[in-house]
Amino acid sequence: MKIGNKVDNFLNVSFKSISENESLARLIISSFVLPLNPTIDELNDIKTSVSEAVTNSIIHAYNNEDNHLITMEAFIRNREVTIKIIDDGIGIKDIDRAKEPLYTSKPELERSGLGFTIMESFMDELSITSKEGDGTTLIMSKKISSRDNTYNE
């Protein structure tokens, strides 16, 4: 697959829908973003947002069933990291409702219902596409502040 030279770096990884892989996703995205020399806050914002997205896929899209895949794609272009978290789970019936603070589709699990709110707060952009029965794709991006870095600008 040819990605061209419009991106500085690209990542595509899939992993099993088990809770242990939430920390794996955080580690992978941290390693991917580190050459940009992000601030601690920028790195924590990205890791937390990825964690929330992967956890949503495991708990809500797949109902904690461990026989599914979650795909994480990421690319860096002009000091901006864009991350996609993709599942083929049950989908989201009402995205606007799901984005409301404290809303949860699993109140019996005592979830806080702040996942999308956190992602929207920590990232510069968040978009959600979903179709019931066909899964969900979250795309989030964050511009990394200019500091000394590995990638040429």
Q: Is residue 2 part of a domain?
A: no
Cβ atoms of 67 and 20 within 8 Å: the answer is no
Q: Is 52 a catalytic residue?
A: yes
Number of other CB atoms surrounding residue 24 within 10 Å: 15
The per-residue pLDDT for 63 is 86
Predicted pLDDT of residue 3: 65
Mean pLDDT of 2-7: 73
Whether 111 sits among the annotated catalytic residues: the reply is yes
Strand, helix or coil at 53?
A: helix
Q: What pLDDT score does 128 carry?
A: 94
CB 123 within 8 A of CB 141: yes
pLDDT tens string 35-64: 999 999 999 999 999 999 999 999 888 988
Residues 56, 64, 78, 79: which is the catalytic one? 56
Q: 60-96, pLDDT tens digit by residue? A: 889 889 999 999 999 999 999 999 999 999 998 877 7
Name the active-site residue from 9, 111, 120, 149.
Answer: 111
Q: Is residue 123 part of a domain?
A: yes
Check pLDDT > 80 for residue 114: no
- Whether residue 132 lies inside any domain: the answer is yes
Res 124: pLDDT: 98
Average pLDDT on 113-127 reads: 88
Tell me, yes or no, whether 86 lies in a domain.
Answer: yes
Closest CA to 26 of 47, 49, 44, 52: 47
Residue 125's domain comprises: 9-143
- Is position 76 within any domain? yes
With a cut of 90, say whether residue 97 has pLDDT above it.
no
Q: Give Cα 112 to chain centroid, integer Å.
A: 18
From 21, 22, 52, 79, active-site residue = 52
- CATH number where 95 lies: 3.30.565.10
Report pLDDT for 93: 83
Q: Counting beta carbons within 10 angstroms of the beta carbon of residue 105, is it exposed (0 to 12), middle (13 to 18) or buried (19 or more)?
A: middle
Q: Is residue 55 part of a domain?
A: yes
Asked if 29 and 83 count as a contact pair (C-beta separation under 8 A), the reply is yes
Residue 35 lies in a domain: yes
What is the count of structural domains for the chain?
A: 1
* Structural domain contains residue 138: yes
